[in-house]
């Protein structure tokens, strides 16, 4: 039931005067009824339950119209079941209860004179003692900052193990586990103690530092890629669960905000993104990073969530004295302050490996940066976060129980990969093998037929040539074979710089040009019809052609040959064939001369000759 239904007069009164909706003590929202919400006067924002993915868990959030959350009660683990409820008690406390009646979150404002709760048009939920605010969602941010809301230096945004802070120096920082600082960005020109600076996003999409010290307006930290247009577009800052600090842009009514700026451009540099011992990397087929284990000495903690990290199959304590260093190329173990100073050593790559190996349990991994600094990180036992990228010059080592079992090279599926992936892989393998076997059987059958039935050879050979032609491979003819298959290419069409050109007719009535080629070894002939592979018939079609099901396709007329005479031109324009057989030095072909039926592009001939010599047909029935 909507609040407005309960207190319509009050709502209208406040809507008109102060652009806020007032919620009276005793009002309750139920997780089971998604229609129950507390909306701001113009429905720009609303308070309500949202379902977590498609599970039976719900969170209590303030949302931008459309459902994009900008605040949540509690942290990312604070959820209730469908019997949960959100109550504004007459004591002045706001409380989130789960189905069993246990309090999972509260505002702790009981007994502070709170009489009303109000949701403002710009997204702030405020508890007031008559006139003064006692508690507000803007003052108790979860992971998001919207325009009109600012972050002070004593406030923290949190998401899982990650936290974002704004320092009095004007720097912005990101930390993991409140300890490892993996991002710190400042500007030397304002790196000083500012008087009560705040961080916020301007409605136009500009991340800014506000301070009375800046006389010429806010200091710009970053522009979003969509900055400028306001309209009903909401820009907000969010510390994402992936540990990156981002700005999003979303239109009213939309459920899918777009990333318009992010603090770290390389997600893999976020400490712990892939969990303990996880290795972060990228591949072509996915835009977000992928998480893997360092080697097959490890297994995922949770096979369904690769970001949970990896664990050793055999602990190194269990194999003392028989450990080795597993090598991972183009990889580093992330090392940030405050670890940086204590874990840096200056040594070469082999010392970086062997020192860690000889240190017993004090060192479990090392990275030789190999970036010119001469630095080596020696990692003591604890949380380790890896990053592998072909662009990284570094080499890393992990101590494992012998023997080291490196991951298979990329593209080869590992044991950790999903079964469906393996299944798909085997289906492809079987399909390839069957196809190969079918082709071999077809070719053997054809050859057997040829040899047994030699009078048929010439026409078959032409068809066989088509088969090879379709596959793009060069095809050879014996002179006799060519003679027969082209009805003896008796008719001399003309002569050009390359010698005489004869007209031949294939069994399928296709007209071809025949030209003897110079400098070809005896008996070696080649046959090619078209330059563009796309103009070759598909394999299946060729088989149909051989079986007489489909009509033999004719490749389109090729480009004119520059060196050929008018007769050459007439051949090309004569309806039919791109087949041209170049004959050369010996004007009268003999059974031992060599012939090639070639594509007309002269530049391709050298290549084709080369190909011919490596793909001779060995069986010549004549
Ligand atoms: C609410 O919407 C009306 C009509 O569109 C507009 O005149 C008014 O300024 C809006 N109020 C606020 C607080 O945005
Ligand atoms: C919520 O509202 C929609 C449309 O107004 C309605 O179809 C649906 O039954 C309502 N759900 C509940 C639980 O009241
Ligand atoms: C409610 O929360 C309590 C304490 O957090 C927990 O023990 C209980 O299992 C929860 N009940 C439900 C139904 O989620
Ligand atoms: C509300 O709180 C403010 C600050 O705590 C206090 O000064 C004021 O007297 C309170 N008002 C009421 C009506 O209690
Ligand atoms: C919110 O922003 C509006 C205009 O953008 C401004 O008038 C108002 O004072 C701001 N409110 C607060 C609490 O900052
Ligand atoms: C979430 O909040 C609860 C209660 O305040 C706290 O016990 C828990 O550690 C928090 N979880 C995270 C991941 O911060
Ligand atoms: C996080 O930090 C706390 C205290 O600084 C430490 O005890 C804990 O071991 C750390 N967690 C991990 C996973 O390293
Ligand atoms: C702030 O950032 C600058 C440059 O990024 C850096 O040199 C400085 O040490 C940082 N200051 C603090 C207090 O983190
Ligand atoms: C640092 O701040 C000054 C003054 O706002 C600005 O002119 C300069 O471009 C900023 N430098 C960087 C690297 O952002
Ligand atoms: C800022 O103030 C703190 C405490 O007042 C002081 O320790 C620090 O040195 C100051 N930093 C600068 C850059 O003035
Ligand atoms: C070390 O482990 C390997 C593999 O398990 C084994 O073959 C080898 O014998 C072991 N060596 C020693 C000294 O234990
Ligand atoms: C890229 O990553 C996706 C998702 O993990 C995976 O399915 C795919 O096999 C990977 N591709 C390569 C070439 O490794």
- Residue in this structure with the two tokens 């068809």, named with its chain if needed: 463
pLDDT, tens digit, 9 for 90 and up, residues 151-208: 999 999 999 999 999 998 899 999 999 999 999 999 887 767 778 899 999 999 999 9
What pLDDT was estimated at residue 229?
A: 83
Mean pLDDT of 430-450: 65
pLDDT band (50, 70, 90) for residue 463: very low
| Position 595 pLDDT exceeds 50 | no
**What are the pLDDT digits (tens) for 129-152?**
988 999 999 999 999 999 999 999
Rounded mean pLDDT of 48-54? 90
Going by alpha carbons, the residue nearest to atom 12 of ligand 6 is: 160
Q: Which residues contact 315 (CB under 8 A, 6 or more apart)?
A: 401
Least confident of 150-164, 278-292, 563-577: 563-577
Decide whether any atom of ligand 9 lies within 6 Å of the 187 Cβ: yes
- Name the more confident of 98 and 460: 98
Q: DSSP labels for 77-137?
A: T--B-TT-EEEE-TTS-EEEE-TTS-EEEE---TTS---EEEEETTS-EEEEETTEEEEET
Q: Do the beta carbons of residue 140 and residue 154 sit within 8 Å?
A: no
State in Å: Cα 29 to ligand 2 middle: 15
- CATH 2.90.10.10 for the 144-264 domain, yes or no: yes
Which residue's alpha carbon is nearest to atom 5 within ligand 5?
148
Higher pLDDT, 595 or 453: 453
Please check the confidence at residue 551 and state whether its pLDDT lies above 60.
Answer: no
Greater pLDDT, 566 or 84: 84
Mutate which of 170, 191, 193 for ligand 10? The one with the most ligand atoms within 8 Å of its CB, which is: 193
Which protein residue's CA is at the shortest distance from atom 13 of ligand 3?
A: 99
Instruction: Check whether 97 has a pLDDT greater than 90.
Output: yes
Nearest C-alpha to atom 4 of ligand 3 is from which residue?
Answer: 102
Strand partners for 491:
503
Cβ neighbours of residue 225 closer than 8 Å, sequence gap 6 or more:
260, 261
**Between residues 237 and 440, which one has the greater pLDDT?**
237
Quick check: CB of 104 below 6 Å from ligand 6?
no
- Whether the per-residue pLDDT at 261 is higher than 90: the answer is yes
Q: Residue 301: CA atoms inside 13 Å, Cβ hemisphere, count?
A: 13
The whole-number pLDDT of residue 461 equals: 39
Lowest mean pLDDT among 75-84, 168-177, 498-507: 498-507
Kindly give the distance from the C-alpha atom of residue 47 to the centroid of ligand 2, in angstroms, as a whole number: 17
The whole-number average pLDDT for the span 450-464 is: 44
Which pLDDT does position 90 carry in this prediction?
94
Pocket test for ligand 3, best of 85, 102, 103, 105 (most atoms within 8 A of CB): 102
pLDDT score of 203: 95
**Contact status, residue 515 vs residue 605, Cβ threshold 8 Å:** no
Q: With the C-alpha atoms ordered 573, 578, 584, 589, is the resulting torsion angle positive or negative?
A: negative
For ligand 9, say whether the CB of 189 is within 6 Å of any of its atoms.
yes
Instruction: Give me the pLDDT at residue 583, please.
Output: 32
More confident residue, 387 or 572: 387
pLDDT tens for each residue of 200-251: 999 999 999 998 888 889 999 999 999 998 889 999 999 999 999 999 999 9
Residue 598: pLDDT over 60 = no
Please tell me if the CB atom of residue 32 comes closer than 6 angstroms to any atom of ligand 2: no
> CA distances (Å), 82 to each of 29, 32, 46, 262, in order?
11, 5, 19, 35
- Asked if residue 124 has pLDDT above 90, the reply is yes
- Return d(Cα 20, Cα 236) in angstroms, integer: 21
Phi-psi category of residue 616: left, alpha or beta, with phi > 0 → left and psi -120 to 50 → alpha: beta
CATH fourth-level superfamily of 18-136: Bulb-type lectin domain (2.90.10.10)
pLDDT of residue 512: 53
Tell me what the mean pLDDT of segment 116-123 comes to.
94
What letter does residue 618 receive in the DSSP assignment? -
Confidence at 64, pLDDT banded by 50, 70, 90: very high
Whole-number pLDDT of residue 446:
65
Nearest atom in ligand 10 to the alpha carbon of residue 191 is 13
Phi and psi of 96, rounded to 5°? -110, 120
Find the mean pLDDT for residues 462-489. 47
- Provide the angle, in degrees to the nearest 10, between the axes of the packed helices 539-547 and 457-471: 170
Which residues does 149 contact at the CB level (< 8 Å), separation at least 6? 122, 123, 124, 138, 141, 200
pLDDT at res. 511: 54
Ligand lying closest to the C-alpha of residue 160: 6
Give the model's pLDDT for residue 34: 85
pLDDT per position as a tens digit, 504-532 = 555 555 555 544 444 333 333 333 333 33
Higher pLDDT, 285 or 537: 285
* Percent of all residues in the chain with a pLDDT value above 90, rounded to a whole number: 52
- Token pair belonging to 449: 């037929």
Mean pLDDT, all residues of the chain: 75
Instruction: Give 503's pLDDT tier (boundaries 50, 70, 90).
Output: low
Which atom of ligand 3 is the closest one to the Cα of 101? 1
37-41, 62-66, 154-158, 439-443: which range is least confident on average?
439-443
Q: Is the pLDDT score of 30 beyond 70?
A: yes
What's the mean pLDDT in 406-429? 55
pLDDT (average), residues 18-35: 88
């Amino acid at each position: 039931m909507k609040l407005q239904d309960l207190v319509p007069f009050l709502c209208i009164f406040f809507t008109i005067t102060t652009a806020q909706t007032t919620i009276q003590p005793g009002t309750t929202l139920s997780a089971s009824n998604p229609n129950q919400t507390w909306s701001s006067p113009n429905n720009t924002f609303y308070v309500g339950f949202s379902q977590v993915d498609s599970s039976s868990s719900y969170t209590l959030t303030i949302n931008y119209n459309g459902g994009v959350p900008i605040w949540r009660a509690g942290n990312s683990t604070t959820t209730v079941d469908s019997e949960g409820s959100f109550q504004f008690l007459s004591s002045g406390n706001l409380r989130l209860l789960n189905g069993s009646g246990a309090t999972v979150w509260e505002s702790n404002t009981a007994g502070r004179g709170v009489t009303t709760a109000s949701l403002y048009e710009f997204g702030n939920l405020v508890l007031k003692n008559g006139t003064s605010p006692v508690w507000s969602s803007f003052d108790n941010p979860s992971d998001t900052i919207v325009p009109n809301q600012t972050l002070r230096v004593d406030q923290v945004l949190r998401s899982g193990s990650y936290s974002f802070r704004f320092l009095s120096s004007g720097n912005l920082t990101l930390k993991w586990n409140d300890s490892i600082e993996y991002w710190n960005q400042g500007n030397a020109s304002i790196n000083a103690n500012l008087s009560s600076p705040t961080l916020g996003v301007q409605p136009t999409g500009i991340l800014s530092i506000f301070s009375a010290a800046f006389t010429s307006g806010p200091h710009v930290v970053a522009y979003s890629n969509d900055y400028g247009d306001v309209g009903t577009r909401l820009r907000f800052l969010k510390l994402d669960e992936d540990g990156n600090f981002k700005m999003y842009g979303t239109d009213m009514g939309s459920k899918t905000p777009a990333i318009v700026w992010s603090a770290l451009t390389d997600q893999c540099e976020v400490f712990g993104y892939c969990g303990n011992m996880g290795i972060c990397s990228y591949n072509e087929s996915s835009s977000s990073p992928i998480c893997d284990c360092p080697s097959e000495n490890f297994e995922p903690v949770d096979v369904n969530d690769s970001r949970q990290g990896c664990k050793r199959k055999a602990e190194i304590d269990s194999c003392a004295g028989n450990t080795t260093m597993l090598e991972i190329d183009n990889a580093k173990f992330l090392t940030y302050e405050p670890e940086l100073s204590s874990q840096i050593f200056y040594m070469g790559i082999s010392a970086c490996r062997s020192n860690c190996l000889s240190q017993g349990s004090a060192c479990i991994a090392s990275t030789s940066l190999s970036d010119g600094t001469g630095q080596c990180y020696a990692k003591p036992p604890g949380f380790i976060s890896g990053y592998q990228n072909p662009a990284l010059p570094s080499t890393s080592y992990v101590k494992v129980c012998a023997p080291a079992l490196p991951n298979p090279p990329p593209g080869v599926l590992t044991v950790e990969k999903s079964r469906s992936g393996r299944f798909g892989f085997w289906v492809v393998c079987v399909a390839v093998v069957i196809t190969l076997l079918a082709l071999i059987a077809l070719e053997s059958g054809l050859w057997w037929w040829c040899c047994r039935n030699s009078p048929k050879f010439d026409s078959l050979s032409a068809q066989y040539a088509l088969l090879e032609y379709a596959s793009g491979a060069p095809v050879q003819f014996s002179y006799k074979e060519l003679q027969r298959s082209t009805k003896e290419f008796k008719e001399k069409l003309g002569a050009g710089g390359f010698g005489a050109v004869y007209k031949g007719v294939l069994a399928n009535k296709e007209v071809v040009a025949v030209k003897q080629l110079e400098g070809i070894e005896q008996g070696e002939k080649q046959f090619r019809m078209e330059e563009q592979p796309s103009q070759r018939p598909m394999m299946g079609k060729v088989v149909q052609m051989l079986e007489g099901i489909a009509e033999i396709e004719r490749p389109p007329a090729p480009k004119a040959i520059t060196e050929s005479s008018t007769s050459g031109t007439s051949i090309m324009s004569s309806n039919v064939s791109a087949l041209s057989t170049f004959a050369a030095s010996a004007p009268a072909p003999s059974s031992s001369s060599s012939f090639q039926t070639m594509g007309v592009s002269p530049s391709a001939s050298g290549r084709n000759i080369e190909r011919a010599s490596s793909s001779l047909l060995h069986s010549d029935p004549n």
